[in-house]
Chain A
Amino acid sequence: MPPTSPSPYLFDEFFASGKEESISPFLTPDSRTWGKNLSLRSALFSVVFLLIAFIASFFSPSLYIISLSLVYFLSGTPALIDAINDIRKLEINIDVLMTLAALLSVVIGSELEGALLLVLFEVSGAMEDTVAHKTKGALNDLHELSPRSAFVLQPNGETTERAVREIQPGEHLLIKAGEIVPLDSTVIAGSSYVSLKHLTGESEPISKKSGDPLPAGARNLDGTLSALVTRSSTDSTLSRIIQLITQAQEAKPRIQRLLDRFGKWYALSIIALFFFFALTLPLFTSLPYLGTEGAIYRALTFLIAASPCALIIATPTAYLSAISSCAKKGILLKGGVILDALARCTRIAFDKTGTLTTGDLQCTGMAALSGNGKIDETAALSIAATLEQHATHPIGNAICALALARGLSKLPLQDFRSHPGSGLEATVLLDEKWVQAYIGQASFIHTKAPSLPEDFAASAKDARTFLYIEGSLFSLSFTDALREETMDAIATIRKEHSLHLAMLTGDSLKNAKVIAQKLGIDETAADLRPEDKLAKVAEWAKEGLIMIGDGINDAPALARATVGISMGRIGSASAVEASDVVLIRDDLSVLSWLLTKAKKCTSIVKQNLLLAISVIFLASIPALLGFVPLWLAVILHEGGTVIVGLNSLRLLKR
Chain B
Amino acid sequence: MSLPPPSDHFKGKTVVEHLQETRKKGAMAAAEIHGTEMSGSAAACADAARETATALLLIGLIFSFTGSYHAFVLFFLLLFCAGWLIWKTGRSALLGWSRLERLHRLIEEERWEIQHNREQEREELAGMYEAKGFQGKLLEQVVDVLMADDNRCLRVMLEEEMGVTLEAFEHPLKQALGAALGVVAAAGLALIGWLSGGYPGLFVAAALLLAAATWLSCSLERNRVLPALIWVTAVIALLAGVIYGIFLKFPTNV
Interface residues of A (CB under 8 A from B): 1, 4, 6, 8-12, 14-15, 19, 21, 24-29, 31-32, 34-35, 38, 148-149, 160-163, 166
| Nearest Cβ on chain B to A421's Cβ, whole angstroms | 28
Interface residues of B (CB under 8 A from A): 100, 103-104, 107-108, 111, 118, 141, 144-145, 147-152, 154-155, 164-174
A-B contact pairs, 8 of them (CB 8 A): A4-B166, A11-B155, A24-B103, A25-B166, A27-B171, A31-B170, A34-B173, A148-B151
Q: Is the interface of B mostly helix, strand, loop or mixed?
A: helix
**Chain A contacts for B173, CB-based, 8 A:** 34-35, 38
Complex CA distance for A161 and B146, rounded to whole angstroms: 9
**Sample of 12 more A-B contacts, CB < 8 Å, known A11-B151, A15-B108, A27-B171:** A4-B166, A8-B149, A14-B107, A19-B104, A24-B104, A28-B167, A28-B170, A31-B171, A32-B171, A34-B171, A34-B172, A166-B118
**Chain B contacts for A4, CB-based, 8 A:** 165-168
Given A27-B170, A28-B167, A29-B167, are A161 and B111 neighbors across the interface (CB < 8 Å)? no
Contact in complex: A26, B111 (CB < 8 Å): no
Contact in complex: B100, A21 (CB < 8 Å): yes
Look across to chain B and name the residue whose beta carbon is closest to the beta carbon of A32: B171
Contact in complex: B169, A162 (CB < 8 Å): no
Contact in complex: A21, B168 (CB < 8 Å): no
| Nearest Cβ on chain B to A277's Cβ, whole angstroms | 40
Contact in complex: A163, B171 (CB < 8 Å): no
Contact in complex: B170, A163 (CB < 8 Å): no
| Nearest Cβ on chain B to A114's Cβ, whole angstroms | 22
Complex CA distance for A161 and B145, rounded to whole angstroms: 6
Look across to chain A and name the residue whose beta carbon is closest to the beta carbon of B153: A163
4 A-B pairs with least C-beta separation: A34-B171, A149-B148, A31-B171, A4-B167
Contact in complex: B169, A27 (CB < 8 Å): yes
**Chain A contacts for B174, CB-based, 8 A:** 31, 34
Contact in complex: A1, B151 (CB < 8 Å): no
| Nearest Cβ on chain A to B100's Cβ, whole angstroms | 6
Residue with the greatest number of chain B CB neighbours at <10 A, chosen from A15, A26, A34, A149:
A26
**Chain B contacts for A166, CB-based, 8 A:** 118, 147
Contact in complex: B104, A11 (CB < 8 Å): no
Complex CA distance for A38 and B96, rounded to whole angstroms: 15
Complex CA distance for A8 and B141, rounded to whole angstroms: 20
Residue with the greatest number of chain B CB neighbours at <10 A, chosen from A25, A32, A34, A160:
A25
Complex CA distance for A163 and B211, rounded to whole angstroms: 55
**Chain B contacts for A25, CB-based, 8 A:** 107, 166-167
Given A24-B100, A148-B151, are A1 and B169 neighbors across the interface (CB < 8 Å)? no
Which of A1, A19, A38, A161 contacts B148 (CB under 8 A)?
Answer: A161
| Nearest Cβ on chain B to A219's Cβ, whole angstroms | 20
Complex CA distance for A148 and B111, rounded to whole angstroms: 14
| Nearest Cβ on chain B to A103's Cβ, whole angstroms | 21
Which of B144, B148, B154 contacts A11 (CB under 8 A)?
Answer: B154
**Chain A contacts for B170, CB-based, 8 A:** 27-28, 31
Which of A15, A26, A28, A29 contacts B100 (CB under 8 A)?
Answer: A26
**Chain B contacts for A19, CB-based, 8 A:** 104, 108
Complex CA distance for A163 and B115, rounded to whole angstroms: 11
Complex CA distance for A208 and B49, rounded to whole angstroms: 69
Complex CA distance for A14 and B145, rounded to whole angstroms: 23
Which of A10, A26, A163 contacts B164 (CB under 8 A)?
Answer: A26
| Nearest Cβ on chain A to B144's Cβ, whole angstroms | 6
Contact in complex: A26, B148 (CB < 8 Å): no
| Nearest Cβ on chain A to B101's Cβ, whole angstroms | 9
**Chain A contacts for B155, CB-based, 8 A:** 6, 10-11
**Chain A contacts for B165, CB-based, 8 A:** 1, 4
Contact in complex: A161, B167 (CB < 8 Å): no
| Nearest Cβ on chain A to B172's Cβ, whole angstroms | 8
| Nearest Cβ on chain A to B26's Cβ, whole angstroms | 11
Contact in complex: A27, B107 (CB < 8 Å): no
**Chain A contacts for B148, CB-based, 8 A:** 148-149, 161-163
Given A24-B100, A26-B164, are A31 and B169 neighbors across the interface (CB < 8 Å)? yes
**Chain B contacts for A21, CB-based, 8 A:** 100, 171
